[in-house]
Structure formats: C-alpha cells, structure tokens
Amino acid sequence: MNFQKLRKIFLKIFKWTFICILIGFFSGSASAFFLVSLEFVTKFRIQHEWIVWLLPLGGLLVGFSYYYWGESVLKGNNLLLEEYENPHKIIPFKMAPLVLLGTLLTHLFGGSAGREGTAVQMGGAIADQFTKLFKLDNSERKILIILGISAGFASVFGTPLAGAIFALEVLYFSKINLKSIALSFIVAYSAYFTVEFWQVKHTHYSIPIVPEFNRTTLFYTIIIGILSGLAALLFSRNVHFWSSFFSKKIKFPPLRPFIGGIILAIAIAGFGFTEFSGLGVPIIVDSFSNASPWYVFLLKILFTGFTLGAGFKGGEVTPIFFVGATLGSTLSLIIPMPIALLAGLGFVAVFSGATHTPIACTIMGMELFGVQPGIFIAIACTIAYFSSGSVGIYKSQIVKGVKYKLYQKINFKSKKNKFQNF
C-alpha cells in the first residue's frame, strides 16, 4: 500500500472521528439542556397543579407551531427512519427547536409523554446538517442519521452502549454500512461524556437481589416476557389508534391537541389522575420496591397514547418504562421472584417488544441494572420481541427476519381459514 492510499485512509478516519465528536458534543449539549429544562418544568407543574387546566392552551401552541412552521418535520422519528431508507432531503434543523419546545410545553402542562423522541429528533436534525458542511453523498448521509439517533438516545438515558446498538438495530433491516458500527459507538460515548461534562444526572435503578437461574425462574421469566410483549403490542396499537382517530375526526391539525388537552385536563385534574402526567419517573422508581395496582400500567398506556395521538410532543420510551416497570411490579403479587427484578425485566422487555430491538434492550438492562441479572433480561427481552406483534411504535420501521416471517405465516393461515369458512 503506497503513501497516498495510507494518507487517504488516515484522512477519512480523522474526518469521521471529528464528525462523531462534533455530533456527540452538539447533540449531548442539546440533550443536557433538554434534561435540565425538563426537570425545571416538571418541578414547576408539581408545585403548581392548577397549571394542568392550561393543557388545552399548551396543545394549541404546539398545534399551531407545527401547523405553520413544522409541517415538514411533523413525522418526527419516522422521518428519520424514512430518510435513512430513501434519502431525499436534508432534515430541516428546525426539527430540533420545534420538538424541544413542543415537549417542554407538553410536560409543563401535564401531558403524558416521554423524552427519547425529542433527544433522537434533535440528534438527527443536528447530525444531518453536517451533510452540506462536509459535502457528503447519500450513503454517507445515512451514516449521519445513525449517528444522530445514537447520540440522542445515549445522551438522554445515559446508556452509551445501548444507544449505539439501538441506532443500528432499529435500522437493522435497512442495509447498515459496516463503517456505521464503529462510528455509532464513538458518537454515543461522545454524547454521553458531553452530558457528564455538563454535570447532568440520570435516574439510577438497582436490582439488589437476583435469584438462582433454574427451571422455575426460567419459566417465570418466559411468562414475564410474553406479558411484556403483549403490553408492548397494546401500547403500540393504542398510540396508532388515537393518532388515526384524531386525524379522521378533527381535520384542522391545531385543534387536535387543543381538544385532546381539554379531555386530558379534565381527566388529570378533575378526576385526580395526576400521577399519569409527564414522565412518571417517581412511580417507576417506587415500582422497584412496592407492588403497583394492576390497573396502573393500563392507565399509563391509555394516557400516553391519547396524549401523543392528539398531537402533543415527546417520546414513547419513558412511558414504556413506566408501563413495563409497573406491570412487573404488579406481577410480584403472584410470581415468587424479587419485586425489583420483575420491575426491571418489565422495564426493558416492554421496550424491546415496542421497538423490535431486543439486543439493545438487553444491553440497556445490563447498563442500568448490572450484569448479574443479564440472563433474565436477555430471555425476557427476546420473548417480548417475538410476542409483541409485527407493528411497533415506529410505523416507518422495517421489520423483517424470523419474526416477520413468523407473523406472515400466522396472518396467511388466518386468512386461509377465513376463506375456507366462508
């Protein structure tokens, strides 16, 4: 290999490492600002519970901001997935401030939503701006989208390994460039350490007692996986149902979160369902030590699906953690395993089923809870993945492989039986 070739290779490595550091820094800084702002508006809402009655006003602000300025970025995370599959147009930078503002308004006034969607969209929008700066082609632009997703996820949850793998796994069936794998890890750690640099803290969870792995605990873990997969299926279908419902029933988009906000305000403030506002982190933490009532996870599914379907902004993942942790916590009443372990398994397994990312969720579980319960986490995430149906929270995600073929066979047999009965 001559000197010129070595020089080209070195310059490419340097260029992409530099791009990763830049994306990691800017995305991590955006996530740090978002997390601090989110904590501020959440505390303000808790201290001033009357503000929930202004949720319709918040919905109107979110609705009009996207109607007049954000129509091109309305698809959110799905836009990132679509642009990766079929690169068409650089994602407008305005996606970042719009989703940031929309999410903060949603949480300030008491909507039930998450935060990963915001961080991922900010990361994707920031990353894609480097297309012009470095004169990248479509194949290289695909790498940027992966880097944006990885940086956003890793920085908002403080899980760099899971963030890197999530970005690759969520796009797995869209032909990943091998170069993307190493770069995804570099940008994830860059974003993670940026948040650490800004001294922004993440929520910590623990599973203090892990039982022996045997046939009995394996059986219970499989049960947890199946139920988590069904909860993920219910969550995904619920979000899509309300989104479709509001689109069909209310033709003027800004009115959707306004009317939805009226209903949510009455339910939350009028009927005392305040625990289903915002992220619900205190309830998630509590579920690791105290059994949750059986209906809590179902109500979180309902409130989150309604909030996001009405047009409010935020992510789905933290509410999914809420659903999974409280489901696992509830099951501790009938399953003889440590409550923290059951809550932790539900926490990651429902996420696995809803996003079709069992590997990333397994890694995330071990990053959050330690490696000791790793075998339980891996089994629960895999079972949930296969039992959650073929449609997840991201409509534009391509789902193929063994799971896709399995559900194709099930659907084919179902249609064949219907035809024969007819």
Low-confidence ranges of the chain (pLDDT < 50): 412, 415, 418-422
- The whole-angstrom separation of Cα 225 and Cα 227 is 6
Q: Which run of H or E residues covers position 161?
A: helix 160-169
**Do 240 and 282 share a domain, yes or no?**
yes
pLDDT digits (tens, 9 = 90+) for 165-202: 999 999 876 677 778 999 999 999 999 999 999 999 99
The SS3 of residue 26 is helix
Find out whether 348 and 378 touch, Cβ atoms under 8 Å.
no
Query: Helix H segments across 332-373?
Result: 339-355, 358-369
- Inter-residue contact 288 to 249 (CB < 8 Å): no
Which residue in 35, 171, 197 sits closest to 116, CA to CA?
35
Residues 58 and 25 in one domain: yes
149 and 120 Cβ atoms separated by less than 8 Å:
yes
Q: What is the pLDDT of residue 174?
A: 66
In a domain, 310, yes or no: yes
Q: pTM for this structure?
A: 0.94
Q: Give the separation between CA 375 and CA 366, rounded to whole angstroms.
A: 10
Spatial contact of 96 and 73, defined as CB atoms under 8 Å apart: no
Instruction: Count the neighbouring beta carbons within 10 Å of the beta carbon of residue 70.
Output: 21
Q: How far apart are CA 83 and CA 127, in angstroms?
A: 13
pLDDT of residue 390: 85
Say whether both 221 and 187 belong to one domain: no
Run of H or E including 133 = helix 130-133
Q: Which residues contact 337 (CB under 8 A, 6 or more apart)?
A: 211, 217, 220
Domain that holds residue 389: 215-401
What's the CATH code of the domain at 143? Answer: 1.10.3080.10
Does residue 191 share a domain with residue 275? no
Residues 381 and 245 in one domain: yes
* Cα separation, 337 vs 352, whole angstroms: 21
CA angle 202, 206, 207 (to 5 degrees): 155
Please indicate, yes or no, whether residues 177 and 252 belong to a single structural domain of this protein.
Answer: no
Residues 6+ apart with CB under 8 A from 13: none
Count of structural domains, the chain: 2
Do the domain assignments include residue 287? yes
Structural domain includes residue 411: no
